[in-house]
Amino acid sequence: MKSKKEKSKSINSGNRPSSLKPEGDWNRIFSYHAMDVEITRAEGIYYYDTDDNRYIDASGGPFAFTLPHGDPRMKQAISDQMDSFTHINPTLASRPQADYCAKVSEITPSKLNTTYLVSGGSEAVETAMKVARQHHLAKGNTGKYKIISNYGSYHGMTLATQGLSGNPGYDKYFGQMLTKWPHIHQYSDHEKPERLTREEWAIKCAERLEKMIYFEGPKSVAAYIATPHGCGSDWGVVPPKEYWQEIRRICDHYDVLLIA
């Protein structure tokens, strides 16, 4: 394989599309910028560049895209659907949508019996924010609108979801445009005092949510949003079960929805 420098020369020479050229801090707006590797094809779990070097596609985690490249079953399913129709207005029903929603209901806990289809993660989070607000309005709790999130979390790239993320980088560029939602510090093993067990520390960390709800005012907090498997963006830290059990208890006690 070529060195990184040699690759960079090869890819940056010629007519490289301007969309592949990162310019300063514009990636804060456009989410991500291209690295010095140009992908020309992919098979299964592998990417191939212009020199036919092979790379394992390990980008699925944070982007929630783990489908194999070029899978014949996927290609056939897409082809079959194209023969019927490519898209319909969301106010209409279709058998593929119904089958998909039924499958989601089948593999999730029994209480999760409603599915709403959206275009991606950012829209899903914004929809959850609106559902939380509407839920409390329907109950007559007109003052409940605040959403608590974790510092350093990631919930999307729109202005509404960036405000939830608690990322200083976003504040630097768009602070005046972002809603200042309250944030708490998430569970972290490396901060645990030696005198406490992981389970005891989990309870202490969960109590941060209760303190923030009390500080903001229980009658103003509509929801708490967090990532169950890692508490934050790409941390990969899974807290003990006691953590989420305590989070659930706190949310129920203060009539705060849990968005996870």
Q: Is residue 69 part of a domain?
A: no
Asked if residue 94 and residue 208 are part of one domain, the reply reads no
Asked if residue 150 and residue 26 are part of one domain, the reply reads no
- What pTM, to 2 d.p., does this model score? 0.79
Q: Per-residue pLDDT tens for 67-77?
A: 889 999 999 99
At residue 1, the pLDDT reads 42
Taking residues 98-108, what's their average pLDDT? 92
Asked if residue 157 and residue 48 are part of one domain, the reply reads no
How many domains are there within the chain?
Answer: 3
Point out the least confidently predicted range of 13-17, 98-102, 255-259. Answer: 13-17
At residue 113, the pLDDT reads 84
Asked if residue 250 and residue 131 are part of one domain, the reply reads yes
Distance CA 123, CA 58 (A): 24
State what percent of residues in the chain have pLDDT above 90. 52
Asked if residue 248 and residue 169 are part of one domain, the reply reads yes
Q: Per-residue pLDDT tens for 234-254?
A: 456 789 999 999 999 999 999
Instruction: Please tell me which of 9-13, 152-156, 159-163, 210-214 the model is most confident about, judged by mean pLDDT.
Output: 210-214
What single-letter amino acid sits at 148? I
Asked if residue 170 and residue 231 are part of one domain, the reply reads yes
Q: Is residue 179 part of a domain?
A: yes
Q: Is residue 45 part of a domain?
A: yes
Point out the least confidently predicted range of 7-11, 31-35, 236-240, 256-260. Answer: 7-11
Asked if residue 250 and residue 134 are part of one domain, the reply reads yes
Q: Is residue 82 part of a domain?
A: no
| Torsion of the alpha carbons at 216, 217, 219 and 224, rounded to the nearest 10 | 40
Q: E strands of the chain, at which residues?
A: 39-43, 46-49, 54-56, 146-150, 183-184, 221-225, 257-259
Asked if residue 168 and residue 253 are part of one domain, the reply reads yes
Q: How far is CA 198 from CA 150, 194, 211, in A?
A: 19, 9, 20
Can you say how many angstroms the Cα of residue 256 is from the centroid of all Cα atoms in its chain? 20
Asked if residue 99 and residue 47 are part of one domain, the reply reads no
Cβ atoms of 170 and 162 closer than 8 Å: yes
At residue 9, the pLDDT reads 39
Asked if residue 127 and residue 255 are part of one domain, the reply reads yes
Task: Please identify which residue in the block is written with the tokens 């959403």.
Answer: 147
Distance CA 47, CA 34 (A): 14
* SS percent in the chain: helix, strand, coil, step 5: 45, 10, 45
Per the document, the length of the chain is 260
3-class DSSP state of 47:
strand
Q: Is residue 72 part of a domain?
A: no
Taking residues 130-140, what's their average pLDDT? 98
Q: Is residue 161 part of a domain?
A: yes
Q: Is residue 191 part of a domain?
A: yes
**End-of-domain residue from the set 111, 144, 175:** 111
Between 147 and 1, name the one with better pLDDT: 147
Q: Is residue 78 part of a domain?
A: no
Domain range for 42: 4-63
Instruction: Please tell me which of 53-57, 143-147, 180-184 the model is most confident about, judged by mean pLDDT.
Output: 143-147
Cβ atoms of 208 and 239 closer than 8 Å: no
Asked if residue 97 and residue 33 are part of one domain, the reply reads no
DSSP single-letter state for residue 228? T
Taking residues 76-80, what's their average pLDDT? 94
In CATH, what number is assigned to the domain containing residue 215? Answer: 3.40.640.10
For the cut 50, the answer to whether the pLDDT of residue 13 exceeds it is no
For the cut 60, the answer to whether the pLDDT of residue 57 exceeds it is yes
Q: Per-residue pLDDT tens for 153-206?
A: 888 888 889 889 877 777 777 878 888 899 999 888 888 999 999 999 999 999
Asked if residue 105 and residue 180 are part of one domain, the reply reads no
3-class DSSP state of 127:
helix
3-class DSSP state of 88:
coil
Q: How far is CA 251 from CA 61, 201, 224, in A?
A: 28, 19, 8
At residue 6, the pLDDT reads 41
